[in-house]
């Protein structure tokens, strides 16, 4: 399986220290995301014992959630693993757990706070664990874009749809303006509903998921989609472009999935005859169209599990998950789609030392790094989430928050 390549050559002592701390900059990534290169060796074994002891002391008062992209040293202490929405719903289904420790990133912990009761406290072991994609859609920018659409007279016919990978502020905006949240699994169902409400969609914040769903699953053309850049007047678009567009895509993307290229696909096909290319829909349009299979994180896992022994798979998603799949299925050849793509470094900020610290503080009666969403934002975000859960084919909604 491909490893991680680094662009640093003979770094200074200071640069080396920053690299090991996960703070070495990679100019190819978006603001707020840094590529640490290969991760340090596993944590001191004493930390494993301390984490186990603190978790045992807390008993049923704590429920630990682990996202698929987390390090193995953290995943071993998770009560449940999954994608962001599955984990938030798992938290809501555990009303007796006083503490929800979310080993993921900030927007995921916000969603858990929205879906759980006021009596529960959601903890993020490292507050620096953010998401560059979510950070690409700031509420003030989205409100400005909505003002542009309003002045053009098209806002009334536009339904905002936000990907789960967005801040509570953006989910709240969508809920206030008649829209809904979607996941990578139900994006088509969400867009089907949106187009029943209006003739135009503002899709936040991941342009690739929006474009891939609209074009590959709904029959829209690339010309029906325009890209709104919040850093340019009118999003860098003409008034006519905004009026004619059926899909207004926000200029945002995942800094891991967005780095896979068509060259990555072509190279692995040349190197591994008969390989199956399996990618996440957050990948670029040309990557998704060149792949053999496309789907959410849960889809990727199930596809690998169901694959026949001896088959070869190049997987375009976060490296921790790909490595975990390779270890779990030694009878299959599972590799990373592109050797040059790094880990999700913000997700990797949740390491064993941070988890041990959070659990030991909770065991001592000190609540740390609690994530809270204000009531008004939480209310409207819940409206948008509930609308998603009401889609045809949706699973049973989680318990109502108290």
**Phi, psi for residue 355 in degrees, rounded to 5:** -65, -45
> 320 among the known binding-site residues?
no
Q: Find out whether 308 is annotated in a ligand binding site.
A: no
Q: Is 280 annotated as a binding residue?
A: yes
∠ CA 206-208-214 to the nearest 5 degrees?
Answer: 105
Task: Tell me, letter by letter, the H, E, C secondary structure of the chain.
Answer: CCCCCCCCCCCCHHHHHHHHCCCCCCCCCCCCCCCCCCCCCCCCHHHHHHHHHHHHHHHHHEEEEEECCCCHHHHCCCCEEECHHHHHHHHHCCCCCCEEEEECCHHHHHHHHHHCCCCCEEECCCCCCCCHHHHCCCHHHHHHHHHHHHHCCCHHHEEEEEECCCCHHHHHHHHHCCCEEECCCCHHHHHHHHHHHCCEEEEECCHHHHHHHHHHHCCCCHHHEEEECCCCHHHHCCHHHHHHCCEEEECCCCCCHHHCCHHHHHHHHHHCCCCEEEECCCCCHHHHHHCCEECCHHHHHHHHHHCCCCCEEEEECCHHHHHHHHHHCCCCEEEECCCCCCCCCCHHHCCHHHHHHHHHHHHCCCCCCEECCCHHHHHHHHHHHHHHHCCCCCCCCCCCCC
Question: Positive or negative CA dihedral for 75, 79, 80, 84?
Answer: negative
195 is in an annotated binding site: no
The reply, when asked if residue 164 is annotated as ligand binding, is: yes
* 162 annotated as belonging to a binding site for a ligand: no
Are 47 and 33 in contact, with CB atoms under 8 Å apart?
no
By CB atoms closer than 10 A (0-12, 13-18, 19+), residue 245 is buried
Annotated ligand binding at 35? The verdict is no
380 marked ligand binding residue: no
Contact 401, 92 (CB under 8 A): yes
281 annotated to a ligand binding site: yes
Is 84 labeled as ligand-binding? yes
Annotation-wise, does 254 bind a ligand? Answer: yes
Length of the chain measured in residues:
402
The answer to the question of whether 184 is labelled as a binding residue is yes
Return the bridge partners of 122, or none: 100, 371
342 is in an annotated binding site: no
The two three-digit tokens of residue 213, written as one number: 């769903």
Binding residues for iminosuccinate: 67, 84, 163-165, 184, 280-282, 297
Q: Which residues are annotated as a binding site for [4Fe-4S] cluster?
A: 131, 254, 344
Could you list the residues known to form a binding site, using ranges.
67, 84, 131, 163-165, 184, 254, 280-282, 297, 344
């Amino acid at each position: 399986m491909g490893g991680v390549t680094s662009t640093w050559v003979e770094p200074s002592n200071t640069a080396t220290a920053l690299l090991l701390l996960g703070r070495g900059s990679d100019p190819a990534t978006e603001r707020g995301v840094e590529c640490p290169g290969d991760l340090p060796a596993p944590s001191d074994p004493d930390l494993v014992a301390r984490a186990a002891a603190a978790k045992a002391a807390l008993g049923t008062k704590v429920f630990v959630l682990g996202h698929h992209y987390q390090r193995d040293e953290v995943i071993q202490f998770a009560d449940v693993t999954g994608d962001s929405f599955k984990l938030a719903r798992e938290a809501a289904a555990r009303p007796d757990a006083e503490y929800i420790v979310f080993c993921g990133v900030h927007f995921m912990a916000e969603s858990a706070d929205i879906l759980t009761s006021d009596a529960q406290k959601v903890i993020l072991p490292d507050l620096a664990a953010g998401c560059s994609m979510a950070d690409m859609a700031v509420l003030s920018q989205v409100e400005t874009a909505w003002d542009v659409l309003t002045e053009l007279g098209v806002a009334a016919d536009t339904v905002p749809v936000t990907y789960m990978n967005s801040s509570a502020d953006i989910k709240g905006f969508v809920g206030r303006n008649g829209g809904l949240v979607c996941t990578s699994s139900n994006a088509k169902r969400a867009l089907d509903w949106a187009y029943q409400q209006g003739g135009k969609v503002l899709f936040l914040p991941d342009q690739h998921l929006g474009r891939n769903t609209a074009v590959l699953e709904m029959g829209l053309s690339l010309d029906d989609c325009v890209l709104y850049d919040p850093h340019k007047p009118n999003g860098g678009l003409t008034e006519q472009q905004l009026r004619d567009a059926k899909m207004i895509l926000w200029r945002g993307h995942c800094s891991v999935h967005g780095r896979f290229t068509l060259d990555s696909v072509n190279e692995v096909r040349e190197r591994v005859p008969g390989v199956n290319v399996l990618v996440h829909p957050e990948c670029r349009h040309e990557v998704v169209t060149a792949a053999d299979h496309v789907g959410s994180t849960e889809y990727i896992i199930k596809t690998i599990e169901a694959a026949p022994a001896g088959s070869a798979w190049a997987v375009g998603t976060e490296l921790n998950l790909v490595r975990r799949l390779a270890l779990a299925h030694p009878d299959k050849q599972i590799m990373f789609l592109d050797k040059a793509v790094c880990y999700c470094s913000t997700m990797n900020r949740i390491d064993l030392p941070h988890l041990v610290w959070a659990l030991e503080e909770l065991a001592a009666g000190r609540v740390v790094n609690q994530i809270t969403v204000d009531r008004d934002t939480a209310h409207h975000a819940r409206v948008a989430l509930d609308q998603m859960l009401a889609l045809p084919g949706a699973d049973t909604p989680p318990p109502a928050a108290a």
